Each structure stands twice: as structure tokens, then as C-alpha cells.
Amino acid sequence: MVNIETTNPATEQPLASYSAMTDSQIDAAVNRAELAYREWATWTIDRRATVIAAAAQLLRQEIEELALLITREMGKPLAESRAEVTKCALGLDYYAENASRLLADTVYETAADRSWVSYEPLGVVLAVMPWNFPLWQVFRFAGPALMAGNAAVLKHSPNTTGAALAAERIIEAAGAPAGLLTALIVAENDVADVTARLIDDDRIAAVTLTGSERAGAAVGSCAGRSIKKSVLELGGADPFIVLADADIDTVVQHAVKARFLNAGQSCISPKRFIVDKRVADDFLAGMQRGVSALTVGDPEDPATDIGPMARRDLRDLVAGQVAETLSAGAHLIAGGKPVPDRNGWFFQPTLIADVRPGSPAYEEEIFGPVAAVLTFDSDVEAVRIANATRFGLGASVWGADLDKATHIGRQVVSGACFINAPVASDVRIPFGGAKRSGFGRELADAGIREFVNARTWWTNQQTVIGTGR
């Protein structure tokens, strides 16, 4: 029997041990999900909404326990964990209140007496979710997918197994059929094989993944071979473009908060700060002050701004990327190394300037507390630098001239562009990426319509006799 051990990244002490599922247990779990789907799909949207709204209320009632679970499993400060649980509840409320409108038939004018498109569930959806927002990522998918009438099988990251089981428990306790959201406990070494087998399983109708580029390529390939719908939300090396007319003090405040939230472990946090040379010195000085003021420490301490990274291997990867970037000619302004002389997988808040093309901080995603500053002489150069990556998740542009900032933003390839605001996911607007940041959309109307059959209807009051063709 293989056990999955979860570990507190702040203390390196074990948290819990879970028995990995056998093949027969996984098969039984998928069966339960399929049976739950067959029942759930017959429920009216209003009846489903009652369950999803109840789940939101349970999240609020258990906010302290769930926040502590998140913090101890992956390391973010408790205040951020509470905010994550609250966001989950708000997201579920949104779909409970709006699904009937978002899934209403779309009527078309044709030669028929009446023609329309209905939005009907696909079946059981496999969700492969990451550890960095261990509840939000699950409910961001589950809210719309379940309200559309689907069931879900969840393959979560092993280091956040407790969060996966909590999500399953909350949906069932809210009144859903048993197995509607089923968490699979899969050993790390078996993830690739189990995921591929599940995607190929006729009981699985579609798959969604939030994770790395490598994982997305594997899942997308499997889904393609099985001719199944997939939605992929992958990594990002998001540009944060600062124009000469921007309010630098305000921009710096947003830049520090956006980059170092969750210890920089967010796909949509800005990774590359692309700054007009005329204001680069002021921006860099402000960033240095902001980064130096951040408190690294115990994520359960209210005074802590940045907790540990989620795993040792992730911290070591970031350390290697920083070292390689510096070796390529960049200048270290602050941080740059693991926090010395303490337990836990902590990395110093890091600021790097004069980042050179070809280095990790210029072209790759650094998934940790590292801000990379690059400069430009012209708008054309700013756009060129922003697009000099294979990723295209989010982008933000900062400047007093909104028309100019928007014009520059239109030239940057991304799934989202925010002007004078950091990129964030909001349940009321679609979210997703371009290029190798993935495809498909989550949230809002686009999100709830990803995992449905858009079924065309054509009706006449009586048979029309014609030649046909």
C-alpha cells in the first residue's frame, strides 16, 4: 500500500498520511461519479442552485478551519488563505444565482417556426488541479461545471490532498448526490499513467487542467487522441508594462503586492516588469524599498507577508533560475537566495534588474518570490519584450494616457489585459490564456459553457415538404 504524506512547508514536519487508491478503487470512484451525474443531470437548475449555494455557506462557516488547512499544506499566510476561501464562496454564489441566465436557450431566427441552441451537460469531467490555490482552483471549475449538470472527478496535487478531500466533503454535505465531486488519491509516481487512463475511459467526457506547460501538453495530447474536450490553463510570464506617465508610487504598491502574493506562486502574477527608462530609476528604488519591507516568516503569524514556498524542489528550482539569470549578466538588487538558518522552504523576496535576453527571468516563468525588471526606450521595444516569451496568460499596462496604454496592450498577446490594475481572476468575467498558456476559458458565461453540448434545435409546427438537400 502506497501512502501519500503531506508536509508543512514552514516547519518541514509531517501533517497527514493518506492511502493512495488502487486501480479498482479508482474505477469504483469513477462509477460513483457517473451514477451521481445521471441523477444530478435530471435535476432542475434551481434545485442544483440550492446545493451550490449551501456549499458556499458551508465554506463560510468553516473558513477558519479551511484556511488553516490551506496554510499548513502549502504555506501561504493565513490572511491569504481566508481570502481564498471567501472567494470560493463568492464564486459558488455567483453560479447559483446566475446559471439559469447563463444557460438559457439562445434563440435564432431561421426558416424554422422556432430554432434555438440549448446547453446540456457532457457527463463526468476529469479535473487536474494544482496546489497553489488548492480550494479556489477546484471551486472555480466545479461551480460552473456542476451547475451545468456535470459531475467531476478531481485529481489534485498530492501535497494538498487534505484540501481535495475537504472540497469533496463540502459538496456532498451541501446535498449533492454522493460522488458528484469525487477526489482521487493518486501517488505521485502514478499520476501520469492514471490521468492518461482516465482520459481514455469512456465514462470520462472531458478534462480540464490548471498546471504546468509540461502537464498541459501531456493532458492535451491524451485528450486529443481520445477526441475529448479539454480546457488548459497553464503557466505565464506576465508582462507588467510601466509607461513614463504612470504614477510610480501607486504602481510600485500594486507591483509589490501582485508579485509577492502567495510567495509569487501564481500563474497570473506579474513576472517581468518592463519599465520606460525615463522612470526606471524611480520604479526600481520604490521596488527595492517595498521588497525590503516584506516580512518573511511563519505563515500562521499575522505579521507575516510571505510564507514558505510549497515544496523544497520548487524552492530549489527558483534558486537555480535566479542564479542562471545573474550569471547571464543581470544585477541583484535584493534577496536572491533561500532564507538561511531556519527550517522550512523559504526563499528571500528577490529583485533583479538589467535582465538579459535568453536568461530564465527574461523568457521563462519563475514561480516564486522574484521580480525581474527590464527597461525600454520606445513603445515598440516594450511590446517586443512583452511578447518575447512562449506564454500569453495575462498582461497589464500602467499609464495616465488610457488610450495609449490600451493601444500598447492590444499589441501584447495575452488572454487578459488589465489597464492600471494587476491581472486577477473574477468570476464575472472570462479567464484563460493564449499561446502556450493554454486554451479555453473559465468563469462567467464562457466558463459555464465550456463543458456543455451546445445542441441545435429546429422545429416546425407541421412537416414541410420540399426537395431537401
Question: What band does 378 get if pLDDT is binned at 50, 70 and 90?
Answer: very high
Please, what is the average pLDDT of the chain?
97
Angle 213-226/191-200 helices, nearest 10 degrees?
Answer: 30
Question: What band does 1 get if pLDDT is binned at 50, 70 and 90?
Answer: low
- Asked whether 399 and 245 are in contact (CB, 8 A), the reply is yes
State the pLDDT at residue 227.
98
**CA quadruple 419, 423, 429, 435: dihedral positive or negative?**
positive
What pTM was estimated for this model as a whole? 0.96
Alpha helices in 191-334 (DSSP H): 191-200, 213-226, 248-260, 280-292, 312-327
In tens, the pLDDT along 311-333 reads 999 999 999 999 999 999 999 99
Instruction: Kindly state the average pLDDT of the residues 87-98.
Output: 98
Question: What band does 217 get if pLDDT is binned at 50, 70 and 90?
Answer: very high
Q: Any idea what DSSP says for residue 228?
A: -
Per the structure block, which three cell numbers stand in for 400? 495616465
Percent of the chain with pLDDT over 90: 97
Instruction: Kindly state the average pLDDT of the residues 52-66.
Output: 98
State the pLDDT at residue 2.
85
State the pLDDT at residue 465.
58
Question: What band does 464 get if pLDDT is binned at 50, 70 and 90?
Answer: low
Percent of the chain with pLDDT over 70: 99
In tens, the pLDDT along 287-309 reads 999 999 999 999 999 999 999 99
In tens, the pLDDT along 394-433 reads 999 999 999 999 999 999 999 999 999 999 999 999 999 9
Which residues are CB-neighbours of 469 under 8 A, at least 6 positions away?
none
State the pLDDT at residue 191.
95
State the pLDDT at residue 273.
98
What's the distance, Cα to Cα, between the start and end of the chain in Å? Answer: 61
In DSSP terms, 416 is beta-bridged to: 394
Catalytic residues: 233, 267
State the pLDDT at residue 462.
83
223-228 LR contacts (CB < 8 Å, sep 24+) = 223/199, 225/200, 226/199, 226/200, 228/199, 228/204
Q: Pick from 67, 91, 69: which is nearest to 81 by CA?
A: 67
Domains of the chain: 3-235+437-457 (3.40.605.10), 239-419 (3.40.309.10)
State the pLDDT at residue 111.
96
- Specify the DSSP element, H or E, that contains 205: strand 204-210
Checking if the pLDDT of 215 tops 80, the result is yes
